Amino acid sequence: MSRVGKQPISIPDGVKVSYKDRRIEVKGPKGSLSRVIHEDVDLTVEKGVVRVVKTGNGKKTAALQGLTRTLVANMVRGVTQGFERALEIVGVGYRVDLKSNVLTFALGYSHPVVYTLPEGISASVDKGKVVLSGIDKELLGATAATIRGFRKPEPYKGKGIRYVEEHIRRKVGKTGAK
């Protein structure tokens, strides 16, 4: 049984939720999001509350109920508060510049890495720190993972792009010959 999936999702003031033909649409002060719901679960939109209901039995259905509840809750939170993900760039000569919606990275390669932010994601840059923000948590995470993939942090000196809260396990380098 999914304990997460059984919990109701409260709808704050200023948020409008509509569900029709397996598509949920959430509109709020920061924007609107929509998503198609899997056929093994169903939604009921009541006064101020959204509930996820299983249409079958089994482990897969219970897992989908919890997943769907979390996705809808993230949609509601996204259109009201939004999400942020911070990355830091560590390394001598590593830097990033932002012009409109294009990030240009200098990461020790022979060429700069140019990345255009997807629609709905905005960024701010401050001294080796990039803060991405948006209303869609899934798109935000994918964008942050793509940027991190340009130069993953290495375990010896810790150089690269990493999440602010990420801890890199450091390795000991070679010892000199004696």
How do residues 149-172 score in pLDDT, each as one tens digit? 999 999 999 899 999 998 989 998
What does the domain layout of the chain look like in residue ranges? 3-80, 83-163
Q: pLDDT category, 177, cuts 50, 70, 90? A: low
pLDDT surpassing 60 at residue 1: no
CA angle 72, 77, 81 (to 5 degrees): 160
Residue type, 152: K
Tokens of 98: 């932002």
Three-state SS at 37? coil
Place domain 3-80 in its CATH homologous superfamily. Answer: Ribosomal protein L6 (3.90.930.12)
The answer to whether 43 touches 34, Cβ cutoff 8 Å, is: no
* pLDDT for the residue 2: 58
- The shares of helix, strand and coil residues in the chain, as percent rounded to the nearest 5, are 20, 40, 40
Largest CA distance in the chain: 76
Q: Residue 161's closest CA among 119, 120, 115, 121?
A: 115
pTM: predicted TM-score of the whole model, two decimal places: 0.87
Three-state SS at 111? coil
User: Topology of 83-163 in CATH?
Assistant: Outer Surface Protein A; domain 3 (3.90.930)
Euclidean distance between CA atoms 146 and 81, whole angstroms:
24
pLDDT surpassing 80 at residue 86: yes
pLDDT surpassing 60 at residue 13: yes
Euclidean distance between CA atoms 105 and 94, whole angstroms:
7
Q: pLDDT category, 87, cuts 50, 70, 90? A: very high
The answer to whether 92 touches 157, Cβ cutoff 8 Å, is: no
How far the first Cα of the chain sits from its last, in Å, is 62
Q: How many CB atoms lie within 10 A of CB 177?
A: 4
Give the pLDDT confidence of 19-77 residue by residue, as tens digits.
999 999 999 999 999 999 999 899 999 888 999 998 888 889 889 999 999 999 999 99
